[in-house]
């Protein structure tokens, strides 16, 4: 079923996705220029999956689950602030964060265009930590995206409603999503961590290969997921009912760093070996998914092949095949979801909130109800012709950090001047000078 799209094409698609959201954003922020990113960067970045090496040891398991203290931090009688349907639930999303910025920006074997692409679309570990600290300091509290809307049936039919959230006094709700938490092979060569694992202590760690020494080790300090886990342990008041963030997953390179995908491109005669390894990867990722789900993380679809739903060349048949593959290869592991994050921020059928076209209708038939794109604010719209909600997310990354025009949109979350990592290449910015 994969002959309709090759791996190389998928890599190009990822880059195009990034470009597409740049265009969306630049238009919205009134900026007209771009950096030298191009799709060739993707093919240059294609690499093989590194050999699995023995992770380093982590601490022994604890007798009690420390997450219980997070989940139970707020008691019901403290949740006295009603956050109604007309009040905005803010939503920020991140791509994987850059663990080794100096390597990623200056020293990896990637093309210059690819390095600029990382600069555009990712944040560094330091930037990410500052942003998390800042939204916490400014009174935001993490809520589960699944809790924000519900489907109800009443006299007017079946439709989505924005729920009233009950919060502690003084807190403001925030959803965080992480796109492409798949650990694509190209990223592993460019200064990113390589997979999520469960450590001996029962907690989530990231496996990482030091790009300088080649040493494989486990860390909770260089990857967005364990960093947020640790932050919430230190600041349990940052989480409502234990909520963390939602992963937006594709399937074409597997999930969470495990190569669980069915691959039709493998050489003839090696199918049995490939399938045996794939089954091992499936077994290996299960406890990781289980621990993530147990500790407040949730999962949505980013389509299997990171497909562009707006393009007419991505026809209904392609969307159907892709969705089935996501359900078979990803949904079978992470469980059901009604949330779809548009790759490229690209809306199906051209305009998803004024019209309901055949692709949108099909995705709805498959159970999706919440459709998330990318924008300059946490806009959301409940559709009237079909039971669905459309929503946008803001994207802290190099494009928005460099753009003075975007500073006002993000100033409620953090101070751009404080967050911007000086290790980034000197590509200029449009910050106000006075």
Residues in touch with Zn ion (CB under 5 A):
17, 179-180, 343
What residues have CB less than 8 Å from 134, skipping those under 6 apart?
413, 414, 415, 418, 419
Nearer to Zn ion (CB atom), residue 301 or residue 356 = 301
**Greatest Cα-to-Cα distance within the chain, rounded to the nearest angstrom:** 66
Nearest to 370 by CA among 345, 327, 346, 341: 341
Instruction: Give min distance, CB of 179 to Zn ion, in A.
Output: 4
Is residue 229 a contact partner of residue 221, using CB atoms and an 8 Å limit? no
Instruction: Give min distance, CB of 121 to Zn ion, in A.
Output: 9
Torsion of CA 83, 239, 192, 45, to 10 degrees: -30
Task: Return the H-helix or E-strand segment holding 38.
Answer: none
DSSP 107: I
Nearer to Zn ion (CB atom), residue 242 or residue 300 = 300
Instruction: Give min distance, CB of 341 to Zn ion, in A.
Output: 7
Nearer to Zn ion (CB atom), residue 124 or residue 182 = 182
Instruction: Give min distance, CB of 344 to Zn ion, in A.
Output: 7
Based on its alpha-carbon atoms, the radius of gyration of the chain, rounded to whole angstroms, reads 21
Nearer to Zn ion (CB atom), residue 26 or residue 405 = 26
Name the residue with tokens 């076209």: 357
Nearer to Zn ion (CB atom), residue 18 or residue 218 = 18
φ and ψ at residue 221, rounded to 5 degrees: -115, -5
Instruction: Give min distance, CB of 82 to Zn ion, in A.
Output: 34
Nearer to Zn ion (CB atom), residue 211 or residue 398 = 398
Instruction: Give min distance, CB of 333 to Zn ion, in A.
Output: 19
Is residue 140 a contact partner of residue 90, using CB atoms and an 8 Å limit? yes
φ and ψ at residue 222, rounded to 5 degrees: -125, 5
């Amino acid at each position: 079923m994969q002959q309709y799209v090759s791996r190389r094409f998928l890599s190009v698609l990822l880059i195009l996705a990034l470009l597409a959201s740049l265009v969306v954003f630049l238009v919205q922020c009134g900026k007209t220029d771009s950096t030298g990113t191009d799709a060739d960067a993707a093919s240059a970045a294609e690499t093989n999956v590194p050999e699995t090496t023995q992770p380093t040891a982590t601490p022994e398991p604890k007798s009690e689950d420390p997450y219980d203290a997070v989940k139970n931090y707020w008691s019901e009688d403290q949740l006295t602030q009603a956050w109604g349907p007309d009040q905005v639930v803010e939503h920020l999303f991140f791509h994987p964060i850059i663990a080794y910025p100096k390597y990623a920006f200056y020293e990896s074997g990637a093309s210059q265009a690819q390095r600029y692409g990382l600069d555009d679309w990712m944040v560094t570990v330091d930037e990410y930590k500052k942003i998390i600290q800042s939204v916490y300091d400014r009174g935001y509290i993490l809520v589960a995206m699944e809790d924000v809307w519900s489907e109800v049936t009443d006299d007017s039919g079946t439709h989505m409603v924005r729920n009233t959230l009950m919060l502690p006094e003084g807190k403001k709700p925030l959803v965080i999503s992480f796109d492409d938490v798949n650990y694509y092979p190209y990223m592993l060569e460019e200064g990113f961590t390589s997979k999520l694992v469960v450590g001996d202590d029962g907690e989530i760690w990231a496996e990482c290969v030091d790009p300088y020494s080649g040493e494989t080790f486990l860390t909770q300090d260089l990857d967005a997921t364990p960093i947020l886990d640790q932050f919430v342990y230190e600041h349990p008041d940052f989480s409502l009912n234990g909520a963390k963030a939602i992963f937006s997953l594709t399937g074409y390179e597997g999930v969470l760093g495990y190569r669980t995908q069915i691959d039709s491109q493998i050489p003839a005669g090696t199918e049995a070996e490939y399938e045996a390894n794939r089954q091992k990867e499936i077994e290996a990722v299960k406890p990781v998914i289980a621990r993530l789900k147990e500790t407040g993380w949730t999962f949505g679809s980013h389509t299997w092949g990171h497909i562009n739903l707006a393009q007419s060349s991505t026809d209904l048949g392609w969307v159907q095949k892709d969705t089935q593959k996501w359900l078979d290869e990803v949904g079978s592991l992470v469980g059901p979801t009604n949330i779809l994050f548009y790759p490229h921020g690209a809306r199906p059928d051209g305009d998803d909130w004024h019209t309901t076209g055949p692709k949108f209708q099909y995705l709805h038939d498959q159970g999706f109800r919440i459709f998330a794109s990318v924008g300059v604010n946490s806009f959301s719209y409940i559709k009237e012709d079909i039971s669905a909600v459309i929503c946008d997310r803001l994207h802290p990354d190099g494009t928005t950090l460099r753009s003075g025009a975007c500073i006002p949109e993000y100033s409620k979350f953090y101070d751009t001047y404080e967050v911007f990592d000086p290790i980034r290449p000197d590509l200029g910015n449009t910050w106000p000078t006075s």
